[in-house]
Structure 1
């Protein structure tokens, strides 16, 4: 909850300290086979969160180490489903870092590894990660096929059809993924349409709402609607005031850099840049290359 509301940089150190001081000694204990497997799965889930929070904080090497440790824990626990979720997280990070082919491969491994026991929500999330990578690769047909499959799978979910840790992935999250894909494929009108349905607005998913809102803003900018795009970007920056997230800073930087030179001279954009200097994420964006 803290991660989603305030960003990975907010409580990351508290989680890391807990893992080192409280969790590590537990792994030296002796347990029955059943309890031992449950413990290793629980530790893997905590390591996965540590990886996500480190990734969100821009600590990519550290994040990868936590993801790999988490994978090893799932192997010891025999937890193929959680292993798939970790591969999916690694795919997400690889896309962010520009390793798009690796990202697609990781997403497919997440999907095919536990295929026989995979529930609909996890299937949908893994295919959405594949779609994100394919969109960045410019594979429009492959991306569309993966998104259609993700939507089909998500429509099949029922209560308790998937583990609790994947319950966050719902229609709103999928809409956000679709918006990212359409933006990256240059289908701005569709990205704007899907972006409107990708907002939680509950105050508990501020980072997700920030990402979706920035994608929607960029979609309008790409359509030439500078005023509307800047208005939506302002909403995103307001959401970002309480977030400690290197990824959020990167989204702002990409939005700023992708505005065409012809749009930069527009009155709406010049007014926007004057106003946005007061926002923390915009300031951080200006301070880093």
Structure 2
């Protein structure tokens, strides 16, 4: 029997009135859309809607279809909660396993985006799984994969115009992310994935020539969504998005994108103190990058490997990996850089090297490369904040307190207005490094400034 809601459904009644639907009109729209969405068994009429208004709830997938009917009619996002019903609970491990068929990839990604858009608590509060990346990378590299996805013979036709739209939307969101931080961009990205990319992925049909760039574009936007969550320190969701982006890159047959996603996995593993896993992911990323024939991507993957060694305090392995990265970078030419890798230049390379020396505790080398990293494109506001903070930290560890405070103040002013947990972490690290000099007036002024501009940090509590 359908589950019951005790009270009359006033939310559904209000939406019916706003959309000017009769009970029968709503029922007919639900049946038509259900057929288009692969649910032809939906059989509803005016009596069904009457029961829902009294408080009864239909079984899945009807609530989702009803919400979509109103979304299409009213021109704004209507969730299952907005229609006074309960969404289907999605298991909290959704997205942790990499799908190996196109159908499973479409279904899993769509479920992940839906649960995220609906803010299902068990999923959005999920923790990072230390073992998931290794399993995903191994399956991505060796399979088994569905070699010949069955083409759809019905559904919306996907063309290169759709692919180009996704690319342009991704570029726009990426610019906003770099300037404002992940917190300001997360919601519209998830909504676009759920309401636009999801239906194309599940129900669209296209030629083989369009399929590859379509999946590649979807992978890029999904990777960006992962990075937004990484920036907000919601690592469980970021991990799930990266795994699904990796699957999409496989069906795009885009080894460059796959290598970029694996490199992102390496960075996330480093961030959550899984240094050994960071090395593993970086080496897997190199395999994909070599297959793609992209020296600049190989360089990125090699420096990520070095970063993993640095986190393990293995200076020799780190140095060898950095030497390989520098030699590879010498082979890079500007014409071969894909658009999604335009951020990787000499300044970015220097920043990654500075991070390696930071983890090794080598203040002078960190300072040298941090200074080089500041010769970067100023539009990357968050990245420049990171690099300025790294320079301040390097100076503090050398006891050059006045210089450290100068750069710390710059980083704090840049951080204000950025919705980024990672930026806060960098500023907190600088304040900790300045902690031994807390009695000096310049340091006290920096602490006051941090608490004034970034009150969530509570830097006074971070002092030794």
Pair member with larger Rg: 2
After superposing the two structures, state which structure 1 stretch, 195-204 or 28-37, moved more.
195-204
Question: TM-score of the superposition, structure 1-length normalised?
Answer: 0.94
Q: Distance in 2 between matches of 1:202 and 1:34?
A: 35
Q: List structure 1 runs of 4+ shifted beyond 4 angstroms.
A: none
Matched residue, 1:15: 189
Of the three residues 268, 286, 289, the one matched with 2:458 is 286
After superposing the two structures, state which structure 1 stretch, 187-196 or 145-154, moved more.
145-154
1:109 equivalent to 2:284? Answer yes
* CA deviation after TM superposition for structure 1 residue 130, in Å: 1.0
The 3 A distance-change label for structure 1 pair 71 and 7 is same
Q: Deviations over 1:52-83 (max 9, x none)?
A: 11110111111111101101111112211111
Larger helix percent: 1
- Would you say the 8 A contact 1:154–1:170 is kept in 2? no
Matched residue, 2:268: 93
Matched residue, 1:226: 401
Q: Distance in 1 between matches of 2:239 and 2:359?
A: 25
* CA deviation after TM superposition for structure 1 residue 163, in Å: 1.9
The higher-RCO structure (CA 8 Å, 6+ apart) is 1
Matched residue, 1:268: 442
Q: How many residues align?
A: 286
Give the gaps of 5 or more residues in structure 2.
1-174
Matched residue, 1:216: 391
After superposing the two structures, state which structure 1 stretch, 78-87 or 111-120, moved more.
111-120
Question: TM-score of the superposition, structure 2-length normalised?
Answer: 0.59
Q: Distance in 2 between matches of 1:118 and 1:264?
A: 51
- Would you say the 8 A contact 1:120–1:156 is kept in 2? yes
1:56 equivalent to 2:240? Answer no
Q: Distance in 2 between matches of 1:275 and 1:20?
A: 40
- Would you say the 8 A contact 1:5–1:203 is kept in 2? no
Q: Distance in 2 between matches of 1:238 and 1:83?
A: 36
Of the three residues 212, 215, 220, the one matched with 1:40 is 215
